[in-house]
Amino acid sequence: MTAVKEISTKSGDRMAFVTLEDLTGSVEAVVFPDVYRSSMLHLAKDSAVLVKGQVDIGEDGTAKILVGEVRPLALSGNGGTPLVEVTLGGPAATPEALRRLDAILRAHPGNAALRLHLQLPDGKRVTIAPAASRSVTPDGAFRQALEAEFGVGCLTLR
C-alpha cells in the first residue's frame, strides 16, 4: 500500500481511498465504511496486505478495486501475527497516560506482539517490548480506544 487517504462520508462514517502497488503496477482501491471499520488497522502506508474485492471499470477505462476484505500479508498464508506499535510523545508520555494505556491494553487482550515507543518530556526516546502476556487484539475497537485517548497516528501495525 503506497498511499492512504481517509475521509468522512456525508453521514460521518470513515472510509478510505488507497493505492495498491506490486512489481507490475498500481491501482486505486476504495474501502467503504463497513470494510473500513473491520480493517482500519491494516490501512497504513507501506503495509503489505492481501486485498479481496471487485474490479470496477470507470467510464474513462480506469480500473479500481472495490474492497471487500483486507488482511495483513503476514496473516494471509503463514499464520503469523502482526506487530502492534504504539507511539506516545510529549504530554502523552506521563505516568497517568501510561496508566490509561495500560487499561486499554488490558481491555483488548490477544496474540499480537506489542511495542511501545515513548518520547519523554526531556527529549529521550524509549522503546519497550512488554511481556507476551501483554499481547493485544489489534481490531477496530482497539484502534478507536487508542486514538480517542492519544490521537490519530499513535498506532502502527506491521
Which distant-in-sequence residues (6+ apart) come within 8 Å of 49 by Cβ? 1, 20, 42, 70, 71, 72, 73
The model's pLDDT over 94-119, given as tens digits with 9 standing for 90+, comes to 788 888 999 999 999 988 888 888 88
CB atoms within 10 A of CB 41: 21
Strand partners, 39: none
Which distant-in-sequence residues (6+ apart) come within 8 Å of 13 by Cβ? 33, 36
- Grid cell for residue 128: 519497550
Residue showing cell 502492534: 84
Alpha carbons 29 and 25: distance in angstroms, whole number: 13
The model's pLDDT over 39-90, given as tens digits with 9 standing for 90+, comes to 888 888 888 788 899 988 888 888 899 999 988 765 444 455 678 889 888 7
Per-domain residue ranges of the chain = 3-76, 83-157
Alpha carbons 145 and 148: distance in angstroms, whole number: 5
Determine the Cα angle at 23 with ends 2 and 51, to 5°: 55
Grouping H, G, I as helix, E, B as strand and the rest as coil, residue 76 is: helix
pTM of the model: 0.51
Share of the chain above pLDDT 70, in %: 93
**Options 3.10.290.10, 2.40.50.140, 3.40.50.970, 3.30.420.10; CATH of 3-76:** 2.40.50.140
Alpha carbons 60 and 24: distance in angstroms, whole number: 21
> For residues 27 and 71, is the Cβ–Cβ distance under 8 A?
no
> For residues 47 and 20, is the Cβ–Cβ distance under 8 A?
no
| CA distances from residue 115 to 91, 110, 139 in whole angstroms, order as listed | 19, 14, 16
